[in-house]
Amino acid sequence: MKLSVIGCGYLGAVHAAAMASIGHEVVGIDVDDRKVASLSSGVAPFFEPGLQEILTAGLASGNLRFTTDISEARGAEVHFIGVGTPQQKDGHAADLTFVNAAVDGLLPHLAAGDVVAGKSTVPVGTAAALSPRIEAAGAVLVWNPEFLREGFAVTDTVDPDRLVVGIDANATGAEPAIEKIRSVYRPAVAKGTPFIVTDLATAELVKVAANAFLATKISFINAMAEIAEVTGADVTQLADAIGHDVRIGRRFLGAGIGFGGGCLPKDIRAFAARAEELGRRDSVGFLREVDAINLRRRERAAALVVDALGGSVVGKRVTVLGAAFKPYSDDIRDSPALDVAVRLRGLGADVTVTDPQAIENARRQHPQLTYVQDRDDALRNADAVIIVTEWDEYRRHLTPEHAGSLVAGRVIIDGRNCLDAVAWRAAGWSYHGMGRP
């Protein structure tokens, strides 16, 4: 099929290349000419495992191209909208500027029977508001939320765990529109991937509800970590024990410095803001608590470093392992790792940050920090080390003995509870987990 994808960020670029990889003819469209030039020349503009390969293959096959000219969406049967919906500068609600601009830009190029498929995460009610203009052009609007995880974006796109398509069942052309979306995802559908057809509001809500649930799960275990800290309990063992209950499950019970990234933090805030607009402030009032617990963990991590260094970090060399908000990504949006680094610097520490992929992005946002690409160089002469992004380079491949041969002081703070405390202590380190004795 001929597809257009409007917005070529973490979501759209992967979607465009992934759709080309399953045989569609795709044009990716973005207003950022540098991003388009990079993608067109076959260079992935950000780090995402597997993206480079499908980008190269897509360009070579002729199935994939990128442009800044939205009129090139003309002729596509399905137009995906994958632009960002960041947090508003002066509030918690989502900023829909890019979604509105994408739809405005697309409208003159729509043909009767085209499907516009929203993938961006939007406040419930957005699709219904956009729909009349799209219908007036003879096209049909569906909402097809995206559940991909950064770091696994390519596999999550090609082989998702579910497909959700929201549509106004009374809209002209609703049935053929659903069939077109089914055809787009034919390989996944043929495999038996659940394909859930619902109304527009439910589809929009599925997305924010999923992210709100995940954020709540993380903050739940971090709240338990806070209790563990004053009782001498071990939150990692607690998580293992409750996680054996299949109704609870162990995944997303990783206590530590909490969640960040371009999605979870802004999505729970936007959800709470939207609920308030809808007169249901109290229904998701707990999300404010989820946010507060999450932010407290960053503060707690910095405090742990201070305590571990005897009450002050002033003039102390602290090496921060990680800058990205999670491993296998170079994304530093609302990164708890960088937040901790900035806090430590604010407390007077001499901070050195290292990360396998995210240094360039981090430097742009926080030029005041010192960055060292090589892990071992970064560790050299440190008075304390804090691991804040659980890259394999730090979690698996760094032994306490090797690290110990580089640092000035064997003090480690495990901001992700990802190290073997027994092994680090046995090697003479003063080990401090989060919510662990």
326 lines the binding site for ligand UGA (CB under 6 A): yes
Task: Please give the helix or strand (H or E) that residue 318 lies within, else none.
Answer: strand 317-321
The CB-of-63 to ligand UGA minimum distance in angstroms stands at 25
Match 């080390």 to its residue by tokens.
385
320 lines the binding site for ligand UGA (CB under 6 A): no
The CB-of-393 to ligand UGA minimum distance in angstroms stands at 16
Determine the number of helices (DSSP H) and then strands (DSSP E) in the chain. 18, 14
The CA-based angle 154-252-202, given to 5 degrees, is: 70
The CB-of-430 to ligand UGA minimum distance in angstroms stands at 24
Cα(141)–Cα(79) distance, rounded to whole angstroms?
Answer: 10
Amino acid at 428: G
Cα(116)–Cα(166) distance, rounded to whole angstroms?
Answer: 12
Parallel, antiparallel, or unpaired: how do β-strands 350-354 and 163-167 relate?
unpaired
147 lines the binding site for ligand UGA (CB under 6 A): yes
* Contact assessment for residue 435 and residue 229, using Cβ atoms and an 8 Å cutoff: yes
User: Residue 94 or residue 142: which is nearer to ligand UGA going by CB?
Assistant: 94
Question: 183-212 mask for ligand UGA (x: CB under 6 A)?
Answer: ----------------------------x-
- What separation in angstroms does the CA of 265 have from each of 186, 366, 429? 33, 20, 34
* Contact assessment for residue 234 and residue 241, using Cβ atoms and an 8 Å cutoff: no
258 lines the binding site for ligand UGA (CB under 6 A): yes
149 lines the binding site for ligand UGA (CB under 6 A): yes
Considering the candidates 263, 309, 379, 382, report the single residue annotated as catalytic: 263
357 lines the binding site for ligand UGA (CB under 6 A): no
Q: What residues from 259 to 318 belong to the interface with ligand UGA (CB under 6 A)? A: 259-261, 263-264
Cα(188)–Cα(174) distance, rounded to whole angstroms?
Answer: 21
85 lines the binding site for ligand UGA (CB under 6 A): no
256 lines the binding site for ligand UGA (CB under 6 A): yes
User: Residue 118 or residue 258: which is nearer to ligand UGA going by CB?
Assistant: 258
425 lines the binding site for ligand UGA (CB under 6 A): no
Question: Can you tell me which of 86, 133, 252, 430 binds ligand UGA, judged by CB under 6 A?
Answer: 252
Amino acid at 404: G
121 lines the binding site for ligand UGA (CB under 6 A): yes
User: Residue 12 or residue 400: which is nearer to ligand UGA going by CB?
Assistant: 12
435 lines the binding site for ligand UGA (CB under 6 A): no
Taking CB atoms, the residue at the shortest distance from ligand UGA is 254
Amino acid at 247: R
* Contact assessment for residue 173 and residue 131, using Cβ atoms and an 8 Å cutoff: no
The CB-of-133 to ligand UGA minimum distance in angstroms stands at 26
Active site residue 8: no
Match 């604010």 to its residue by tokens.
346
Q: Where are the beta strands (DSSP E) in 39-139?
A: 64-67, 78-81, 115-118
Give me the sheet containing 350-354, strands edge to edge. 370-371, 350-354, 317-321, 384-387, 411-414, 430-432
Question: Can you tell me which of 83, 178, 214, 223 binds ligand UGA, judged by CB under 6 A?
Answer: 214
User: Residue 214 or residue 293: which is nearer to ligand UGA going by CB?
Assistant: 214
Q: Cite the active site residues.
A: 263
- Chain residues binding ligand UGA by CB under 6 A are 121, 146-150, 211, 214, 218, 252-254, 256, 258-261, 263-264, 325-326
